[in-house]
A = this chain, B = another copy of it.
Amino acid sequence: MGNPKIKPPSKLVLKISGHIANPDNLELIKEYCSAIREAYSKGVKIAVVVGGGTYARKYISAARSLGASESICDTLGIRVSRLNALLLTSLLKDVAYPIPPENYTEFLKAWSTGKIVVCGGFQPGQSTATVAALVAEGIDADVLALAARIDAVYDKDPKIHSDAKKLTTVTTAELKKILEEQSVKAGRYELLDPIAIKVIERSEIPVAVFDGRKVEHFKKLVYEGEIVGTLIKK
């Protein structure tokens, strides 16, 4: 039957997992930046949101073992996500806003310059997935692209269930149910949290989940609207 398709987007948010965009994956960062730069040069408007990943974990678990509050742990994770964002910015320097905006207002100001805007997290108690959803809503994006650690949404956790089925499309309602069942397994499946889903629902922006290690999937989405993974719709 083939992959789901949307109209090739003229405005999009790309959320890259911090497990992918970090100092240990320079080749992948280069590929993404070159793909982003090319799309931008062809008129696609792009905002990028980067997660914290491995180094965020490192600082968070250190702080936690020192007795820090979870909000301080969040703060550390957010700051690491901005380091990752700066790595991408430094490669995109002539076409990107020079410093990752640190809250929603700063993002809007940066976006109004017409440049590519790369940011990390904003505030404790708010995931970078939620930031990506808010940013997508704020710029009225055609799609929110999730360059994830997994290659698609499954009906069960594929690491546990050998019969887990890959889903090519899923509604936000179904997704919530799937995530709830899996969340019993200790936060393993960190694609989207409830607030991010709520924002996606209210803004009705389609979400494309794909294997973040494959930059060609991002290009397919940008130029052909093809989603090699899962399309999430309201």
Contacts and interface: CB of A to CB of B under 8 A. Distances in A.
A30 interface: yes
Contacts of A218: none
B86 A76 contact: yes
Contacts of A30: 66
Contact of A76 (B83, B105, B193): B83
A79 B83 contact: yes
Q: How many monomers of this chain does the complex have?
A: 6
Q: Is the interface of A mostly helix, strand, loop or mixed?
A: helix
Contact of A199 (B72, B97, B125, B194): B125
B79 A66 contact: no
B75 A98 contact: no
Interface string A46-62: 00000000010011011
A41 interface: no
Contact of A83 (B59, B70, B126, B134): B59
Contact of A86 (B26, B72, B111, B193): B72
A109 B99 contact: yes
A72 B69 CA distance: 30
Contact of A203 (B69, B76, B83, B115): B69
A133 interface: yes
